[in-house]
Amino acid sequence: MKNILLTGRPGSGKSSLIKKLAEGRRVGGITTPEIRKRGLRWGFEIVDLRSGKRGVLASVEEKEGPQVSKYRANLENLNEIGVSAIENAIDDPYVELIVIDEIGKMEFFSEEFRKVVKGALNSDKPVLAAISLYDFDPFIKEIKARSDAKLFVLERGNFDKVLSEIQALLK
């Protein structure tokens, strides 16, 4: 399988697993870590794994942009940082694994993001991506149904098992 998809409930460890799998590999793409303020989740950052460029993907304080739960998405940062990071990962000969953490509701407000995700999945490089557990959009269903993708569901207690299965696939 060329493309590896991780899904599970929020907090199931998808991002932690991706971080662990990326260690020691030449990766490009994005991560979207939480931003916490005073112990509370304030929003999410978007980080280009090759350049280190970062910006706010979504926060409770954004004034504009599409709303997802209590957050508003910053589509400008998604496109400037996220889309370009994935495009660069596809084209960069140094990159051996494209990481997309995550393909979810906030990201789906950008048509450019959808296009670059499809481009990455269709590229010659393997993709390691976290994807929404819920098929809220036909595109999510389409990605999960790809013949060149294997879907892993993270649940309480199976982190190490999924880690070793994916490590075997990435060898």
pLDDT confidence of residue 160: 97
Please tell me the predicted confidence (pLDDT) of residue 11.
85
Which CATH number do you get for residue 162?
3.40.50.300
Per-residue pLDDT of the chain (171 residues; tens, 9 = 90+): 799 999 999 889 999 999 999 999 999 999 999 999 999 999 999 999 999 999 999 999 999 999 999 999 999 999 999 999 999 999 999 999 999 999 988 888 899 999 999 999 999 999 999 999 998 889 999 999 999 999 999 998 999 999 999 999 998
122: amino acid identity, one letter: N
Which structural domain, as residue segments, surrounds residue 55?
A: 3-170
Domain count within the chain = 1
Alpha helices in 2-155 (DSSP H): 14-22, 75-77, 84-91, 111-122, 138-144
Cα dihedral 123/83/22/31 (nearest 10): -150
